Structure 1
Amino acid sequence: MEKLSYDIVIVGGGLLGCATAYQLAKRKAGDILLLDGNDIASQASSRAACLLTRARTKPGLMEIVQETYDCIEEIEAMTGEELGLQMCGSITTASSDASLKGLEELEAAATRFGIPNERIDHKRLKELLPWIEADAVGAASYMPTDAFIDSASLCQGYAHAASQLGVTLKPNCKVAGITAEGDRITGVRLQDGTEISSAVVVNAAGAWANLLMRPLHIGLPFTPVRSHFWITSTDAERFPVNHPFTVIPDARAFTRSDVGALIIGLRESQCQAFDPSTLTDKLEDFDFNQAAKWTVLDECAPLLKAYLKDIDTLPIAHYMSGPSCYVPDAKFVIGALPQYVGLYTVTGCCGGGVACGGGMGRLAAELITGEETFVDAALFDPMRFGEVDPFAPEFQKRCADARSNKKGG
């Protein structure tokens, strides 16, 4: 007979749900079920830029990123499977007074945390990045221990490790709602009407999370905002495999290697938010406004042209877009929802789910199990904005502005 009762149910089989499942299982938190309406790692978590940038200036984030690196090492040792971490290093540039100040703050934070970093000259910059117009760069900092990793592989790694530790994974099993009696969570109801009982439910449903909260009259303080990147045609001599990824704040851009091609990520001046109620169950069926492929490139190309001189004529082979969950203050949303005993969420990755997923999952697990937290949980309190309406256009614009104003990678 199918089991219909668990200690903890996690809704969402993306990076944050799988990382939380892994962290809870490590702590022997009980009988855990993870549900997703699609295949594990098949939706937003498969559309990420995959950068694992260690140095951060916001409180708690370097510890959170380090936890992700630790998880990768643990999971590879546990499962015997390599997750494909590419230790390529990163380069952050500055070409204005504002970006130079930001670079200096980043270097100071890295030094405090023991992250190797060095200011490099134009000759060294050109050796590491053959494609860049070095004269456009006022200053550059090289951080050799940064890396990137395929986001779907990392997500599958969390899932496989969680499964080895006893978590039950049920992909292609859509949750229709979270159930409650009075002020206590009682479990979830599946689309086919099956009810699964649990005293703890973790909403890690990503862009769809607010759809599950709406019947409970709770609004999580984030909205899906379009992120996108372009991939050039292959030119391995110009774009060497695994050369450092770059963060170019003055061009609102990042780049990274992609097997002899170059991935180019750009942030338009007015990023586009999406009402979560318009999202389809599968992102491949959702229209992210494909016209943006060229209109955003046209808007941002003049800024990037100083660094990548032929951006106007560079052959583009692929375009990828997807929803990233942004919060008005660009901080994560992790913790208990006080309206219901036993209801938790881990969401609002703000474009950092790959680098921060392991640490976000750890914090969620510590809060659920009542452990002392390894970072200040108040920074990510889901109720820090009070009551919000994530379906209101005004709130969605605040979230989109958080991405528009983002400075780092």
Structure 2
Amino acid sequence: MSKRLVILGAGESGVGTAILGRQKGYDVFVSDGGAVKEKYQEELNKYGIAWEANQHTEEKILNADEVMKSPGIPEKNELVKKIRKKGIPVISEIEFAYRYKGNSKIIGITGSNGKTTTTSLMYHICKTAGFDCALVGNIGYSFAKQIAEDPKEWYVAEISSFQLDDIHTFRPDVAILTNISEDHLDRYDYRFENYIHSKFRIAENQTEQDYFIYCADDPVTMQYLEKYSIKSNPLPFSMSKELPQGGFIRNGQMTVTVDDERMQMNVNDFTLKGKHNQNNTMAASLGGVTVGIRKEKIRVAVQTFESLAHRMEPVSTIRGVEFINDSKATNVNSTWYALESMERPTILILGGVDKGNDYSILTDLIREKVKAIVCLGTDNRKIHEAFKNDVQLMVNTASAEEAVKAAFHFASPGDTVLLSPACASFDLFKNYEDRGDQFKQAVREL
């Protein structure tokens, strides 16, 4: 009898797992409580996989040998509770994919901020070095589907805390933890510690042969590091102190040391600007050295990397006013990094679905750099409460177009309009990409 694999959620990770499961001889059933995108319907049908949409048929789910739960489904979901109560093992997509990776190697990247940039740069370094590699995980392409349809020797995987929650054996050869700040607390019973524990799981199965790269300047990481028995080789990186192993920046010079390999590079040669990106570049460069990539190749990759859409993306300058799209800033810490890199008077577009945000960390930067706040969300009370004494101008808007017009109205030549919302986007937009695209469109129409 083939094992019954039930998959909750027919998005990228769910459909990828279904394809790999089918290929490996499982009896696969996919169930989605909402609508299923047409492209995913076509893929499921192409492989002859049974699926349902807009419902969960319990008798077809609770007879599973194993359940793959998509990262978007919370533990407090009633169906998940029933699955747990029956003792059916629940795994994540990266756990399932890991079983079938063969001899390939994995560089796994997680963190509250900077993980997408670090993952993309890490992939660019591997490609520049001529590695047979794929970019997978939270960044857009399913790890399981990649293994099923086009296996590679190397996988560079962006991994969210939700994906780490349901791992058992998943073990990256190189793990990168960029930093930890309060995010997604609504999913972790509003206990920061639960979220921290999820992030550290990236290193829990590592052995003495593996590497763990982390930020020595991040107070949360350093406070909790000792609490976990991590067996892999530690490689910290820092902007504040010189390190014999790992990475540091001193007087504008990056030094990266792994065992006997050492590389140096001037930060002015990085295509990624801003202090937070110096950390991301150190992390990815360390990753490159650990997997044996030559210094020259890493240097070329760091100098040729193009920044990402929706992450501090310059849109346009109109009548002396610069517009920047940082829609991917879905938590307060991301917005802090964005504001920290601002060198001109700023009109900040802020707001959306609040995930239990504490805005107080932004207060000093807002007083110092922000002329006006344009709120973009259905409920902006918390933002008004937080900053009513710090800026003179604050308005509510209900669309990207309204927000852009209001911001442009407040701006003078030489100012910057920054969309860096600090919140999720689901109240007015499909996702952060949609929010960023609508912002860019509205800027073009000014």
Give the shorter-chain TM-score range: under 0.3
In our comparison, the structure showing a higher alpha carbon Rg is: 2
Q: TM-score, normalised by structure 2?
A: 0.25
Q: TM-score, normalised by structure 1?
A: 0.27
